[in-house]
Amino acid sequence: MRLDQFLANAGCIPRRTQAKQACDEGLVEVDGNVVKPATSVQVGQRITIKTGMRIRKYRILQLPQRPVPRKKRDEYSELLSSQQIDEVES
C-alpha cells in the first residue's frame, strides 16, 4: 500500500492530498528514512510525521483498504509518541 494512502485511510493525516504534500516536503519518515508518497509500507514499520508544531510517531498494525472510522483507527496504527515542538531555532 502507498504511504500517502495509508496515512489518509488510517487517519494519521486527514486527507490524501495533505499526506502527499507532507511527504513531498520531507516531513514524513518511514523507519528513519525520508520517503516519497508512493513508497510501499508494510505492517510493523514505524512512521514519523512532522506537521505544524508536533512530531508524531506511529507503528503500522494493519493496512486499511478504505478510510477507517475514528473509533477503529487504533486497530490500524499505534501512536508511539506525540511531541510538541517548542520553537524553531534560527
Tell me the domains of the chain and their CATH numbers.
Answer: 3-84 (3.10.290.10)
Confidence (pTM): 0.87
> What are the cell numbers at 15?
486527507
Is the separation of the CB atoms in 27 and 48 below 8 Å? no
pLDDT at 88: 56
Sequence-distant (6+) residues with CB within 8 A of 41 are 1, 2, 3, 6, 30, 47, 60, 63
Determine the Cα–Cα distance for residues 79 and 57; give it in Å rounded to an integer.
6
The 10s digit of each residue's pLDDT in 1-56 is 999 999 999 999 999 999 999 999 999 999 999 999 999 999 999 999 998 889 99
pLDDT at 89: 55
Mean pLDDT of the chain: 92
